[in-house]
């Protein structure tokens, strides 16, 4: 029988109430942690990878790929099409760094490796990550071009898409669970 998300949360909270800190800490460290704890660990690793990826993106859109609202290039305000393209390039660079960080932190703290050889596992991990990134990258520039939304808002849509796709695929396809 599959538990609902509410039942899983109740179960996790009950575990935390019934146990002392060392027991909870051991449970959090375990690769076979309760699904709620596993998702929290996944989220924490995701924050680390996102900081790495977005750090590269921010550095890039302010330097080598100018893409921020109101920037001036060659004496003229940057056009939406160039802003969208440069933001995509900066995201591609950030994705490479973030993917490495995400793989190693997920392997170290969240999921159990071994469903596939290490190289295949990294390849599948990267393909899933690339699929999620491409979906987000496609949506971001379109939102900028079609609706004129801010670069930051389009970036947020990329992050939401990536989190949802990546967790499900990594948990059920890439790693042992």
Spell out the domain ranges in the chain. Answer: 1-30, 37-174
Is residue 177 pLDDT above 70, yes or no? Answer: no
- Give the residue among 88, 101, 100 at the shortest CA–CA distance from 60: 88
The set of residues, in sequence order, having a beta carbon less than 8 Å from that of 12 and lying 6+ positions away, is 34, 35, 36, 37
Please write the tens of the pLDDT for every residue from 107-144: 988 888 888 899 999 999 999 988 887 877 777 778 88
Please write the tens of the pLDDT for every residue from 147-167: 888 888 887 877 777 777 888
pLDDT at residue 56, as a whole number: 97
Q: What are phi and psi of 76, to 5 degrees?
A: -125, 150
Please write the tens of the pLDDT for every residue from 33-92: 778 888 888 889 989 998 999 999 999 999 999 999 888 888 999 998 999 899 989 989
pTM of this prediction exceeds 0.75: no
By the 10 Å C-beta count (0-12 exposed, 13-18 middle, 19+ buried), 172 is classed as: exposed
- What is residue 72's three-state secondary structure? strand
């Amino acid at each position: 029988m599959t538990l609902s998300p509410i039942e899983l949360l109740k179960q996790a909270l009950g575990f935390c109430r019934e146990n002392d800190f060392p027991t909870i800490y051991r449970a959090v460290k375990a690769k076979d942690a309760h699904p709620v704890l596993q998702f929290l660990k996944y989220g924490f690793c995701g924050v680390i990878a996102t900081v790495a990826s977005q750090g590269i993106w921010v550095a890039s859109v302010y330097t080598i790929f100018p893409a921020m609202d109101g920037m001036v290039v060659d004496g003229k305000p940057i056009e939406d099409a160039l802003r969208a393209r440069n933001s995509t390039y900066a995201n591609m660079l950030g994705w490479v760094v973030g993917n490495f960080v995400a793989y190693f932190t997920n392997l170290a703290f969240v999921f159990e490796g071994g469903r596939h050889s290490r190289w295949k596992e990294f390849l599948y991990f990267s393909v899933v990550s690339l699929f999620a990134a491409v979906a987000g990258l496609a949506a971001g520039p379109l939102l900028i071009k079609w609706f004129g939304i801010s670069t930051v808002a389009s970036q947020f849509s990329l992050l939401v898409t990536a989190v949802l796709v990546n967790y499900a695929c990594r948990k059920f396809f890439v790693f042992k669970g």
